[in-house]
Amino acid sequence: MRALLCEHHGPPEELRFADVPEPVPGPGEIRFRVKAASVNFPDALMIQNLYQRQPPLPFIPGSEAAGVIDAVGEGVEGLRVGDRVATIPFEGAFAELAIAPAFRTTVIPESMGFDIGAGFTMVYATALHGLEQRGRLRPGETLLVLGAAGGVGLAAVEVGKLMGAHVIAAASSEEKLTLARAHGADETVNYAQVDLKQAVKALTGERGVDVIFDPVGGALAEPAFRTMGWDGRYLVVGFAAGTIPAIPLNLPLVKTASIVGVTWGVHSRREPDLHAANMAQLYRWYAEGGLCPAVSKRFPFEQSREAIRWMMDRKIQGKVVIEVA
């Protein structure tokens, strides 16, 4: 089968297409014919050896995809050959065939295309797990989302609205903020042009923000934290800016606020029933029209390297999809 191969760590331009043996599903795994894959930030980190999870070389990158099951491993229940599924293999998705754990694989609704399914699970499941189980977001609370037009950011805007929050979307351009507004944001802040702390404080006054969803990190983290209200929850989701921020610990003390880590991958493995319930909720919302996944760009399979570069150049709005078959 044809696959994109990472033979040494480096930029996406150094990945190479190759014919490789078809993977065989082990116990608890499914194999699927990949129809579409989506680009996620860990894809770029893994090929550069910058991610916490590091597959041995050579490996096929690609963390997320949708397709049709063509084989199931021993002990797999509830999934059958022919099912249309979305799944997270974490690696191997930029190929014609891939394997993935059954517990991270869900049957997609008939109404959902493979292009949408390919980018649905990672961003929405992270947003819901982060805001519900980790952030305890309640109706009427104010939610600040950084990187609000990126993959997980835009998903957090939509999920936050569905959970009844007042959502402030923050991003680096007017175009990105227009997208966040179209997906439900109540207010917007362009942090490339105005001071984030001052702008959010002007919107929230003395009360401050209740929950912050931060997939960006870097220099934005501390000014964002300073907008936090009493009993606020700061969700550490990712570091797309490239640097891991250090928050002075007097800040959570004086604000009586919490810094809360979110790791969806570990949650889905340790709490598969809760993850399944979250996915069922997300598919219900999708069927009702509450979630409107945004695919802003599509690349043919041969241009997978360009798709990864597109994300690394900070150009992604919503999701970018690679059409494999």
Within 178-217, the residues that bind ligand NAP by CB under 6 A are: 215-216
Using rule CB under 6 A, residue 227 touches ligand NAP: no
Site string for ligand NAP, 263-302 (x = CB under 6 A): xxx-------------------------------------
Between 173 and 303, CB nearer to ligand NAP:
173
Region from 4-12, 54-62, 146-154, 157-165 binding ligand NAP, contact rule CB under 6 A: 146-154
CB-hemisphere CA count at 13 Å for 39? 33
Question: Taking a C-beta distance cutoff of 8 angstroms, is the pair 312, 12 a contact?
Answer: yes
Could you give the C-alpha distances from 156 to 38, 57, 169, 266, in angstroms and in order? 18, 34, 10, 19
Among 69, 157, 169, 241, the residue binding ligand NAP under the rule CB under 6 A is 241
Cα dihedral value 133, 136, 138, 142, nearest 10? -120
Using rule CB under 6 A, residue 237 touches ligand NAP: yes
Nearest to 282 by CA among 261, 308, 264: 264
Q: Which residue has the tokens 């993959």?
A: 151
Region from 95-103, 276-284, 301-309, 310-318 binding ligand NAP, contact rule CB under 6 A: 310-318
Among 15, 30, 86, 171, the residue binding ligand NAP under the rule CB under 6 A is 171
H helical segments located in the chain: 41-47, 114-117, 121-128, 151-162, 174-182, 196-204, 221-225, 250-255, 264-270, 272-288, 304-312
Site string for ligand NAP, 95-124 (x = CB under 6 A): ---------------------------x--
Nearest distance from C-beta of residue 95 to ligand NAP, angstroms: 20
Region from 110-118, 222-230, 277-285, 311-319 binding ligand NAP, contact rule CB under 6 A: 311-319
